[in-house]
Amino acid sequence: MAGIFAVGSEELVVSPLLVDMAASFDTTVAVMALSVSAYGVSTAIGALLFAPLGDRFSRRLSLTIGMAAFVSGTLMCAFATGPGLFFTGRALAGLATGAFVPTAYAFVGDHIAYRHRAKAMGILVSSWSISLVLGVPMGSFIGQWANWRWTFGMLSVLGVFVACVLLMTRVGAGPATDGVPPQATARDTAPAPDPVSSQRWIQSAARAFLAPKVSLYVLATFLNMLGFYGMYTFLGSALQYRFGDGSSMTGIMILLYGLGFATSFVTGRWADKLGKERVLIALLGGLVPALVAIPLVAGWTPLLVLCLFLWGAMQSLVVTLLSTLLSESSQQYRGTVLAFYSLATNLAVALGAALLGPLFTAYGFSALGWVCAGITLVAFVLSGWAQRRGSERAAKDTARAATGTEQAATGGGGRR
């Protein structure tokens, strides 16, 4: 949770700092927004290259290496003398996030039974909400009162703390168990298998992607996160234009969104009871009008507060449910499937900033809201399709099992 808080704050804090960073490097907001794209592309690459190693070796080792790389990249951002070095630091931090986040999700999948996993995953996803509630507003305030570089400096200190804790718990647990409790799966305690060829790795990744409903939920993840990051990346700039430079209202509004995002700590339990797929479809449907409404009510602060809170609450549970459903889709390739999840998420980060930045600059926040709502609508359709395919598959399996039981009973009667 502490690690996800660190990488989440690093990923999300750029939004309220874009204007100040652009002024510092004597460039435009649209250019500095491309640092979000660099971060997203690197995270996607890191997820594909490093997260699957947890399936073969140690998840804890992947977490530790990822956090060490995160510290290095964040320090580069803090001391960057120009946009080039800043973008390089963001790319390195993105690679680290790609290794860390899907490995953390897979760790939960290894240790928590599916019937309770949405609750557990909601607790883990709440780390993102903590980064929104605490990390992003604090980073925004520090950036406004001191300098944006201090924000990245503080995040690097937090990363050092997380890496030290990972190393200390590994030593304390001993190399035989790698810090894994007795009920953990055999993959975490068994000796590491021999390295496989790149061809076999591609084949295993293809099998993971073709598991039932994986491709649909991965695509739904991409579209949902594209709509989210398309809005969120430029939310800080839109709020700063709305409330003025130096106003604390930008940080407060993002804090309110974060409070809504924090509700996944509680709402994950409800999804376990009501049905994960059913709740996911309802939430994606609710996000569509919310994304349209946010720019329209920006001039009315009470309505803006309500919309931002509801947006955060719905988005947090959507993230929780998509990661939970994917974590159960293939136990054998859980780490690889969640690497695809991270890949989809961070491609959306990259494209959301790169493609929608010119739209925001040319046509404003309202046009951005309509486009992001349309993207989310497609994710809603895909999730409904995935649920229908799952229901049809379950019905076929039930019919096949019933037929087999009937045939066995008939054969047994003949023998008697």
The model's pLDDT over 353-407, given as tens digits with 9 standing for 90+, comes to: 778 878 888 888 889 999 999 999 999 999 888 888 766 665 565 556 556 555 5
- Pick the closest to residue 390 from 300, 276, 314 (CA basis): 276
Highest mean pLDDT, choosing among 32-41, 80-89, 146-155, 269-278: 80-89
DSSP 183: T
pLDDT of 350 reads 73
- Which whole number is the average pLDDT over 260-277? 75
- Which whole number is the average pLDDT over 305-313? 89
Higher per-residue confidence, 202 vs 20 = 20
- Which whole number is the average pLDDT over 186-211? 51
Is a pLDDT exceeding 90 seen at residue 329?
A: no
Largest CA distance in the chain: 89
Tokens of 271: 């999804």
Q: Give exposure, 106-140, as e/b (b: 16+ Cβ within 10 Å).
A: bbbbbebeeeebbbbbbbbbbbbbbbbbebbbbbb
Q: In terms of DSSP H, where are the helices of 53-82?
A: 53-56, 59-78
Tokens of 241: 């234009």
Determine what percent of the chain is predicted with pLDDT higher than 70. 73
Q: How many CB atoms lie within 10 A of CB 332?
A: 13
Tokens of 169: 């718990």
pLDDT of 243 reads 75
- Pick the closest to residue 99 from 135, 50, 53 (CA basis): 50
Determine what percent of the chain is predicted with pLDDT higher than 90. 14
Place of tokens 């859980």: 334
Cα 131 to the center of its chain, rounded Å: 12
Q: In terms of DSSP H, where are the helices of 196-248?
A: 198-209, 214-243
Q: Tell me what the pLDDT averaged over the chain comes to.
A: 76
Q: Give exposure, 72-102, as e/b (b: 16+ Cβ within 10 Å).
A: ebbbbbbebeebeebbbbbbbbbbbbbbbbb
Residue 129 banded pLDDT, cuts 50, 70, 90:
low
The kind and range of the H/E element at 416 are: none
**What is the Cα–Cα distance from 167 to 163, expressed in whole angstroms?**
6
pLDDT of 176 reads 33
Q: How many CB atoms lie within 10 A of CB 154?
A: 19
Highest mean pLDDT, choosing among 44-58, 185-199, 279-293, 398-412: 279-293
pLDDT of 247 reads 59
Cα 113 to the center of its chain, rounded Å: 21
Residue 183 banded pLDDT, cuts 50, 70, 90:
very low
Q: In terms of DSSP H, where are the helices of 244-300?
A: 249-261, 264-274, 276-296
Higher per-residue confidence, 94 vs 106 = 94
Least confident of 64-73, 130-139, 321-330, 370-379: 130-139
pLDDT of 188 reads 40
Each residue of 21-70: pLDDT tens digit? 888 888 888 788 888 778 878 887 887 777 666 556 667 777 888 888 99
- Pick the closest to residue 109 from 312, 393, 336, 318 (CA basis): 336
Residue 246 banded pLDDT, cuts 50, 70, 90:
low
Tokens of 40: 């997203």
Cβ burial of 415 (10 Å; 0-12, 13-18, 19+) is: exposed
Q: Are 87 and 35 in contact (CB under 8 A)?
A: yes
pLDDT of 273 reads 78
pLDDT of 174 reads 35
- Which whole number is the average pLDDT over 10-25? 82
Sign of CA dihedral 183, 189, 193, 199: positive
Q: How far is CA 272 from CA 7, 266, 281, 321, 329, in A?
A: 27, 11, 14, 9, 16
Is the overall model pTM greater than 0.75, yes or no?
A: no
Q: How far is CA 161 from CA 18, 68, 136, 158, in A?
A: 27, 10, 19, 5
Q: Are 276 and 325 in contact (CB under 8 A)?
A: yes
The kind and range of the H/E element at 303 are: helix 301-329
Please give the domain boundaries of the chain with CATH numbers for all domains: 2-179+203-394 (1.20.1250.20)
DSSP 262: T
